[in-house]
Amino acid sequence: MNPLLARWRATSLSVRTLLLLGFSTLFLLGMAGAQQIRRTTGDEIILRTRPVDPRDLLRGAYVRLDYEIERVHLPNLPNAADPADWKEGDRLFLTLRSDGVAWQPVALSRKKQIIEPGDVALRATYQRREDFADTSAPGKNMPVDVLLDIGVDQYYAAEEVALDMERDARETPLDVILSVGGDGRPVIKGLVVNGEKRYETLL
């Protein structure tokens, strides 16, 4: 028998329980610490959300977020790659550039590209494309919109805050503050409320 396993079995139940609780606590603190590091070391960007059906906005104490950039209009992106061979679930990189208020797409590709200073490469998952009739060539379709998922579509809020957000979202889409790491993965840092940045912390 493995000596470590034998020693573990010989340990009293109360000591084993305390050890398991201690390891679980350390694990959770480590996860929270890693998230906090991602929040503080990544590039900060602000994304606008699209209006959503208020009946579908809340999931318990979580607010569902639906970002404008998750629908990319390809004719507006001269630097977008050809989506002909993309499949659902493929990883893509969406290059964003600030317009002074929020961040807008400027390129979309399968691999992370060399970006201009000040731009941010955001990792996204390809969902599908929507083709529309090409009026200049009857009988043919052309890809117009590409739907993406950037992976941060829920924001936790206390119940009363979530209800206020639900009410406000009917009239004004939310602005969400994200931190984007070097690998392109985003983490929610907070919200912009009435023009004021409100940051959330884990520790």
The predicted structure's pLDDT at residue 135: 58
Taking phi first (over 0 means left), then psi (-120 to 50 degrees means alpha), and beta for anything else, what does residue 26 get?
Answer: alpha
Q: How far apart are CA 93 and CA 110, in angstroms?
A: 6
Percent of the chain with pLDDT strictly greater than 70: 60
Which of 118, 175, 117, 127 lies closest to 150, judged by CA?
127
How many Å apart are CA 158 and CA 18, to the nearest integer?
A: 31
pTM recorded for the entire structure: 0.69
Q: What are phi and psi of 23, to 5 degrees?
A: -65, -40
Sign of CA dihedral 116, 186, 198, 51: positive
Q: What is the pLDDT of residue 6?
A: 62
Model pLDDT, residue 129:
87
pLDDT, tens digit, for every residue of 135-177? 555 555 566 789 999 998 887 766 666 666 666 666 666 788 9
